[in-house]
Chains A and B, each alone.
Chain A
Amino acid sequence: MKLRSVLAIKCAKCTSYLIKKLNRGSGVTLPGYVARLVDPHILSVMVGMVKEKTIVTMGTNGKTTTNSILYHALEAEGKKVIINRTGANMLNGIISAFVLAADKHCRLDADYACIEVDEIASVNVLPQLKPDCALLTNISRDQLDRFGEVDITFNKLKTAVTSVPDTKLIINCDDVLSYTLASESGNTFVTYGISEQIFDDISRSEIRESIFCRSCEKKLEYDFFHYGQLGIYHCPNCGLKRPEPDFTAADISLEDELYTFSMDGMLIHSTARTPYNIYNTLSAYAALNALEADLAHFQDMIESFDYGNNRESIFSINSARVQLHLAKNPIGFQQKISLVLKDEKPKDIIIQINDTYQDGEDISWLWDVDFQYLADAEAATITTAGTRKFDMGLRLKYEDISCDNTTDLRSTIIERTKRGTGNLYVIVNYSGLYSTNYMLTELEKTQKGGEET
């Protein structure tokens, strides 16, 4: 290895040590930045030390869960795997993951690297990583103000994948945008999809853009929609149609709130509570096949896999059941509403909406969620919180759903768990996730220690 790369790794490790010593947060991006300053080619050097294969996961929804499945599946086969931390999916975060995994001789001992890449960073990151596979979950509307439009995301991803022509793509063929991107890219690709109708009306409704054929501009026709623009489509004019997927999940059924499905000859009794996680499992399985990875332990691994991924956590506070959920875009929120409606017990709901840069400063997406269904949710109370609590309140007001708002989330949670229905949902968008999770964990502990607030 060049001296320069060695130096870059050492500097990054020192930075990380200092950040921890000074208690300045988790330090997931700064070490990467420092390493890149010292050696601009550090990422290519590091990925060159990965013994077997590198895979990146991209797309609007589900990339963290999918990447986690890949990681656990490879670990279950006894492989050493590098993974970047949740949210650290821009260039510096990715470099950090590699350099901090190096040993004191600046060597990597890794068989695989599973890297989640943000769409905006993909153009920069992919040429440096030259991954064996790139998995694309779907392309939908997310955090509009960063990208402008879904077309811009599409073009960024297309530029990224065409810059690495030897990378095999793993594509959700139920998503016409992903499928079009793969077809136009020239890269080889493998498809996955679900041919049965499994999503309920509530998760299915609304948000249909890009339903025009990108080659001939005629309106696409659908046999049915899964959700968003995903479904079984064809173009009446030019013959474009959803292909028969290479990998599919079938015989999907719901038993005791958990999904069972068959995939490539296996009958999987999964712990998935939402159909989205069937997609995530299927896509990871397709990718592992494309990587020619061992899969002997896949079924055991996935049947005990925790899809929660810290994004959906359950707490017990003042003997109330408290669920924390992340909803950061219309499709994600629609899914949570569908989940809330499946719970027939009375409930209290708190919705926290922030508008920091990570959340997206534009919160107009709230109007693309079908909140009218919440009227049937048997909610005793609905409370809005966060910097945009009034906007969230307005969204509900214009569906004639009454709600109140709070500036003090903590006291509201305590009050609701003591005097509420005993069944509390807390739904937050991105920037509120970690602080709220921390708060709920702490409230749960305090209560166990006997010193009730």
Chain B
Amino acid sequence: MKLTIGHLYPDLLNLYGDRGNIQCFRKRLEWRGMEAEVIPFLSGDTIDFSQLDIILLGGGSDREQELVCGHLKNIQQDFKNYVEDGGVVLAVCGGYQLLGKYYKTDKKMIEGLSILDITTEWQPERLIRNIVLDSPLFDTPVVGFENHGGRTYIGSHTPFGKVFYGLGNTGKSGYEGVLYKNVIGTYLHGPLLPKNPQVCDYLLERALKRKYSDNIVLEPLKDELEHLANGYIAGRYSDKKYILKETIKRHI
């Protein structure tokens, strides 16, 4: 079995170790004896969505997102059809914002793909810290690092997770990211997948089911190191004393 992963605009959106997410998809397929093909689509390339099983839309600076915006117009309808048809998408940081209707910065209005009914507005104070989520999809915490100036309002959409520690979509809502069909949009980098193999396997399984058969169940891998890395952050922020120390440090 084989999955084809499209990495969209790595020449523009390539921040915060997006490559780690790609590598995680690839290796977790290979370790199970399956094949992975990664196709980077540079800005201006034509994209045949029918050949793709997973799409990664990564993060970029506000300036670079604006450049991406122009290219998105050409693929908007195809991308939307792909999502509605159950295509798997992981959109991180800037990529997450671009799934929505718009991203309003202090200077400009960046038009998004309008695939989801979400909007983002920029504020000068950046939301930067480690973050721990409880996601309804998994029985173990999702951990990562957030760093965003945008506040994302997801309306009636389902969030990716509830914020256990950290700031999340708006810094106030108590929720992080968005889930829609087989799309996960999130501010978590770090990168997201290596430390959260449950998320990686969830997306891989969705993609395999869509392409091959509903009966596919991924066999487990030896994930001791993944769990230790995940547990280190989850554990650190379950410690009330540590959180108190951290809070004091941030306010002096």
Contacts and interface: CB of A to CB of B under 8 A. Distances in A.
A361 B149 CA distance: 17
Contacts of A393: 225, 228-229
Interface in B164-197: 189-191, 194-195
A39 interface: no
Contact of A364 (B43, B128, B189): B189
B19 interface: yes
B228 A364 contact: no
B225 A394 contact: yes
Contacts of B18: 367
Given A217-B67, A394-B194, A362 B14 contact: no
A149 B61 contact: yes
Nearest to A218: B67
Contact of A365 (B17, B23, B24, B129): B17
B64 interface: yes
B61 A364 contact: no
Contact of A391 (B147, B149, B229): B229
A219 interface: yes
Interface string B17-46: 111100110010000000000000001000
Nearest to A372: B23
B63 interface: yes
Nearest to A367: B17
A145 B147 contact: yes
A219 B61 contact: no
Contacts of B229: 390-391, 393-394
A148 interface: yes
Interface string B64-104: 10010000000000000000000000000000000000000
A367 B19 contact: yes
Interface string B124-152: 00101110000000000000010101000
B30 to A, nearest CB: 9
A211 interface: yes
B190 A362 contact: yes
A158 B11 CA distance: 25
Contacts of B23: 367, 398-399
Given A145-B128, A148-B147, A398-B24, A364 B225 contact: no
A6 interface: no
Interface in A133-188: 144-145, 148-151
B115 interface: no
A212 B12 CA distance: 9
A156 B208 CA distance: 47
A397 interface: yes
A393 B251 CA distance: 33
B149 A364 contact: no
Interface in A342-401: 357, 361-368, 387-388, 390-391, 393-395, 397-400
B226 A364 contact: no
A151 B66 CA distance: 13
B15 interface: yes
B202 interface: no
A209 interface: yes
A390 B19 CA distance: 18
Contact of B129 (A219, A361, A398): A361
B205 interface: no
B160 interface: no
B14 A364 contact: no
B17 to A, nearest CB: 3
Contact of A148 (B128, B130, B225, B228): B128
B16 interface: yes
A364 B147 CA distance: 11
Contact of A398 (B128, B189, B194): B194
A399 B27 CA distance: 8
Interface residues of B, number: 36
A364 B195 contact: no
Nearest to B229: A390
A178 B137 CA distance: 46
A232 B160 CA distance: 44
Contacts of B130: 361
B121 interface: no
A387 B149 CA distance: 27
A399 B23 CA distance: 8
Contacts of A357: 249
Contact of B16 (A144, A212, A219): A144
Contacts of B189: 362, 364
A364 B58 CA distance: 13
Contacts of A151: 61-63
A340 B214 CA distance: 48
B89 to A, nearest CB: 20
Nearest to A330: B17
A217 B32 CA distance: 43
A358 B113 CA distance: 38
Interface string B217-233: 00000000110110010
Contacts of B16: 144, 362, 364
Contacts of B20: 364, 367, 395, 398
B158 to A, nearest CB: 26
Nearest to B222: A397
Contacts of A365: 17
A209 B15 contact: yes
A212 B130 CA distance: 30
B147 A368 contact: no
Contacts of B17: 364-368
A399 B11 CA distance: 22
B15 A361 contact: no
Contacts of A398: 20, 23-24, 27, 194
B61 A150 contact: yes
Given A144-B15, A367-B19, 10 more contacts: A145-B129, A148-B128, A151-B61, A209-B61, A212-B64, A212-B67, A362-B128, A391-B229, A398-B23, A400-B27
15 contacts: A144-B15, A148-B149, A151-B61, A151-B62, A209-B14, A212-B67, A217-B67, A362-B16, A362-B145, A364-B20, A365-B17, A366-B17, A367-B17, A391-B229, A398-B194
The list of the 7 closest CB pairs from A to B, nearest first, reads: A367-B17, A367-B20, A390-B229, A364-B17, A390-B228, A149-B61, A362-B145
